[in-house]
Amino acid sequence: MTTAAPAVEADGLIKTYPGGVTALDGMGITVAAGTVFGLLGPNGAGKSTTVKILTTLARPDSGTALVAGHDALRHPDRVRRAIGVVAQKSGADPVATGRENLLLQGRLYGRRGAELGRRADELLERFDLAAAGGRLVRTYSGGMQRRLDVALGLMHRPQVLFLDEPTTGLDPEARTAMWEEISRLAGEEGLTILLTTHYLEEADRLAERIAIVDRGRVVAEGTPDELKGELRGDAVHVELRDTPDEVDARLLATALGEFAAVREVTVDGRRLSARADDGPAAVPHVLAVLDRQGAAVATVTVARPSLDDVYLRYAGRRFADADTGTGGSAAKAAVPATSAGGAR
């Protein structure tokens, strides 16, 4: 396997769905072989569409996509042989056993005989499904099903593994277990992993490089540290005991602004935020300034920049606000409560 050629090279992908919804608007990524690459963005940003194109499921309106050295548009069959896909939806057959699912998957790639059975058993063992291998998949827990999905994707030893939101819907414990498994996979046999996620923490923890996707395009790309480093410095958040009036708020901001170690001071209600090159060192000075202005302080926190801050900077909105899809269930749940309140 040549390490020089990228495992995935997509450029200028444009995809419009019937009805005029633009899913991709010039999407492009390059994934070096043997690395874990994270596509990070809210639901609807275009992550899944990108994966569908790269895995030969969907075709773009225009653009190019090379996967494992093959053109996904002209030679989809060659790409299919080289990739493993773990889609958002499970896809395992619920009325077949875990082992039967694996055997069928292997057979579709032309694997036969004793090697096929050995590979299935090896994966069942590895994903802690050995005891459940003979049970119908519909009896599996969510975490077990997800592990089987990953095993299915690995059955034919692919060069590139696509993991489309591998931990969405899992409970925290199962999620941590899945993270460990993915980290372990990443070190193996030069496997390249393309991971999509809308969990900032997940991308931060698993991916060597991250592309932040918003509205069908990559808006920022780099290692997690590079992306966070571009924000220069720590965030200092101060919660005041009382909400300052408008004049006081402006006075506070001005007073802090004169102090060279902090910048980008904002006051929003009781919440005062600033950025500092060295957060901990700036705290005493900030407190001294506030004390002099007569503003009583409730709490002070210093935070290293998070990917959320990065997202805010490049996409121009908070991650949680943009992520309308996941917020959907909460929002829907809130609707009847609101209307009930209105009726009262």
Partner 1 sequence: MSTETLYQTWYMTQRQLMAILRQPVFLVITLVQPVIWLFLFGSLFRKVVELPGFGAGSYLDYLVPGVVVMSAVSSNMWAGMGTLEEIERGTLNRFLTTPVSRTALMNANVVQQGCSTAVQSVLIVLLGKLGGADYPGGIGGLLLLLLASVLLGTIFGAGSNAVGMLVRQRESIIGINSFLLLPLTFLSSAFMAPGLMPSWMRHIADFNPVNWALVAGRSAMSADPDWGDVLSRGGALLALAVAAVWLSTRTFHSYQQSV
Q: Which amino acid is at 181?
A: E
Among residues 2, 4, 20, 110, which is the contact residue for partner 1, using CB under 8 A? Answer: 110
Sole residue written with tokens 């698993």: 206
Q: How far apart are CA 191 and CA 136, in angstroms?
A: 30
User: Residue 152 or 310: which CB sits closer to partner 1?
Assistant: 152
User: Residue 135 or 313: which CB sits closer to partner 1?
Assistant: 135
CA distances from 266 to 5, 173, 286 (A): 46, 37, 13
Among residues 32, 104, 219, 312, which is the contact residue for partner 1, using CB under 8 A? Answer: 104
Q: How far apart are CA 279 and CA 58, in angstroms?
A: 47
Among residues 16, 90, 293, 326, which is the contact residue for partner 1, using CB under 8 A? Answer: 90
Q: Which stretch binds partner 1 (CB under 8 A): 91-99, 213-221, 250-258, 306-314?
A: 91-99
User: Residue 17 or 281: which CB sits closer to partner 1?
Assistant: 17
Q: Is 91 in the site for partner 1 (CB under 8 A)?
A: yes
Q: Is 120 in the site for partner 1 (CB under 8 A)?
A: no
- Nearest distance in Å: CB 182, partner 1: 19
User: Residue 53 or 256: which CB sits closer to partner 1?
Assistant: 53
Q: How far apart are CA 88 and CA 103, in angstroms?
A: 21
User: Residue 73 or 253: which CB sits closer to partner 1?
Assistant: 73
Q: Which amino acid is at 113?
A: G
- Nearest distance in Å: CB 138, partner 1: 10
Torsion of CA 196, 201, 206, 209, to 10 degrees: 70
- Nearest distance in Å: CB 260, partner 1: 55
CA distances from 99 to 80, 91, 120, 134 (A): 22, 14, 6, 6
Interface with partner 1 in residues 221-240 (CB under 8 A): none
Interface with partner 1 in residues 20-59 (CB under 8 A): 52, 55-59
**Cβ neighbours around 110 below 10 Å, total:** 9
H or E element: which one contains 292? helix 279-292
Phi, psi (deg, nearest 5) at residue 199: -100, 115
Q: How far apart are CA 335 and CA 131, in angstroms?
A: 44
Among residues 94, 190, 229, 316, which is the contact residue for partner 1, using CB under 8 A? Answer: 94
Phi, psi (deg, nearest 5) at residue 310: -65, -45
Q: Is 251 in the site for partner 1 (CB under 8 A)?
A: no
Q: Is 314 in the site for partner 1 (CB under 8 A)?
A: no
Q: Is 193 in the site for partner 1 (CB under 8 A)?
A: no
Contact 82, 131 (CB under 8 A): no
Contact 63, 13 (CB under 8 A): yes
Interface with partner 1 in residues 60-89 (CB under 8 A): 77, 80-81, 83, 85, 87-89
Q: Which stretch binds partner 1 (CB under 8 A): 94-102, 166-174, 176-184, 243-251?
A: 94-102
CA-based nearest residue to 301, from 320, 264, 274: 274
Interface with partner 1 (CB under 8 A), residue total: 32
- Nearest distance in Å: CB 318, partner 1: 30
- Nearest distance in Å: CB 307, partner 1: 28
At a CB cut-off of 8 Å and minimum separation 6, what does 235 contact? 273, 274, 275, 279, 302, 303, 304, 305, 309
Q: Is 161 in the site for partner 1 (CB under 8 A)?
A: no
Binding site for partner 1 (CB under 8 A): 17-18, 52, 55-59, 77, 80-81, 83, 85, 87-96, 100, 104-105, 107-110, 136, 152
